[in-house]
Amino acid sequence: MIPAEEAHRDRPHTMISVAAVADVHMDDDVLGRYRPALDELPGKADVLLLGGDLTRHGTVSEARCVATEFGNLGVPVVAVLGNHDYHCDQVHQVVQILTDVGITVLEGDSVVLDTPGGRLGVAGAKGFGGGFAGRCASEFGEPEMKAFIRTTCDIADRLAASLAELDCDVRVALTHYAPVPDTLAGEPLEIYPFLGSYLLGQAIDSAPTALAIHGHAHHGTERGTTPGGVRVRNVAHPVIKQAYNVFHLHVPQSPGFATAGTG
Amino acid sequence: MSEIDEYVEAEIQRLLTEENSLAEQGITVHRREHFLQLSGEVASPQRRDEIVRLVRENFPDVPVRADIGVTRAQAPREAEELS
């Protein structure tokens, strides 16, 4: 481990520095709490990723708190929403308020950011539940059950397509729900199907993804890996116990670097 | 002392999530021998106090103890290298 600020300043331009946090659950009682740490971001990271559950109930006033806290940070901010952000059926207004302060909100789409270290591609989707291989729901039986798992399938398909279409040096997948069970360790086994789905992991593994970021599991653990070997990090605020985590992603120099312009 | 059964535990867990002024999914409810313990982390002291107040208000016969922390929000001092 090296001090984040020093490493960012002196690092060779073959590295992209990604800060990430999820489950900040903003409301006016938390306003300003993250800001001192966020003000240090330009020295520490090229981008901040927000992995959903930005609000408590997804209201307009809570979204304004998110915009105040996470807007105008001096680094690009890319977010997905979480289940809490859907609670009050005001998703359109919430997204608009975040977009108005320059936060990019992804749902089944992607963005490419030019950083000193290279082009960072972020594909994002909220994700959904269903469970993990061998212990998962199937598209079978009652319409409600079929709709549940079909929702996850559709979201995972869009995430896979977004990752595939990215033209960048380093790919990151951003979700709220977990793509692997590894990072849920600490949660009751019985609720795993509500915390994530292997279909998200499969989507992440379908492209050369460098890192998968998620939240949602407050009692989970930080580190995991997809079956295909992609590093997974749970950045739920109660898990990381600080304002955000910083990841240094090494940009492939060759042959990836040489072919990046033609890809 | 009233008995704390599984149904009470389930009702409290749902109250924590579904009560609009709470919306907390990160609190664990444990039935101990003589009391019910709430544990986990929340984003502010106000949220912790409101959880305890509402659980006591809705379940006045249940002895409740809270061990709920407020998640720290300092800047990280280290970065993770992913090569």
A160: its two tokens: 């896979």
Cα–Cα distance for residue pair A80/A123, rounded to 1 Å: 10
d(CA A207, CA A171): 9
pLDDT tens-place string over residues A100-140 = 999 999 999 999 999 999 999 999 999 999 999 888 999 99
pLDDT at position A216, please? 97
The nearest CA of chain B is from the CA of A238 a distance in Å of 6
Q: Is the pLDDT of residue A169 over 60?
A: yes
Q: Is residue B78 part of a domain?
A: no
A33 with B73: Cβ contact below 8 A: yes
Between CA A131 and CA A1 the distance in angstroms is 34
User: What pLDDT sits at residue A43?
Assistant: 92
pLDDT of residue A1: 54
Domain holding B36, by residue range, is 6-70
CB contacts < 8 A, A to B, total: 96
Say whether residue B21 is in contact with chain A using an 8 A CB cutoff.
no
Confidence of residue A263 (pLDDT cuts 50, 70, 90): very low
Contacts of B44 in chain A (CB under 8 A): 29-30, 33
Of A240-244, A255-259, B49-53, B61-65, give the lowest mean pLDDT range: A255-259
Q: Is the per-residue pLDDT at A192 higher than 70?
A: yes
Between these two residues, A246 and B83, which has the higher pLDDT value?
A: A246
Question: Tell me, what's the pLDDT at B5?
Answer: 85
Q: If pLDDT is split at 50, 70 and 90, which confidence band does A260 have?
A: very low
Residue A261 has pLDDT above 50, yes or no: no
Instruction: Count Cβ atoms below 10 Å from residue B16 Cβ, excluding itself.
Output: 21
Instruction: Produce one character per residue of A5-16: b if its CB has 16 or more CB atoms within 10 Å, e if not.
Output: bebbeebeeebb
Average pLDDT, chain B: 92
Which residues does chain A have within 8 Å of residue B21's beta carbon, measured at their own beta carbons?
Answer: none
State mean pLDDT over B39-51. Answer: 95
The CATH code of the domain that includes B63 is 3.30.70.1770
Q: Where are the domains of chain A?
A: 4-258
Q: Do A33 and B76 touch (CB under 8 A)?
A: no
Asked, for residue B1, whether it belongs to a domain, the answer is: no
A247: nearest CA in chain B? B80
- Give me the interface pTM, i.e. the ipTM: 0.90
- pLDDT, tens digit, 9 for 90 and up, residues A72-100: 999 999 999 999 999 999 999 999 999 99
CATH for A4-258 is: 3.60.21.10
CB contact under 8 A, B43 and A30: yes
How many structural domains are present in chain B? 1
Tokens coding A85: 């952000």
- B15 falls within a domain: yes
pLDDT at B2: 53
| Closest Cβ–Cβ partner in A2, A84, A250 for B83 | A250
- Does B49 map to a domain? yes
Chain A residues closer than 8 Å to B68 by CB: none
The mean pLDDT of A180-199, rounded to a whole number, is 97
| CA-based nearest distance B61→chain A, Å | 27
Spatial contact of A175 and A125, defined as CB atoms under 8 Å apart: yes
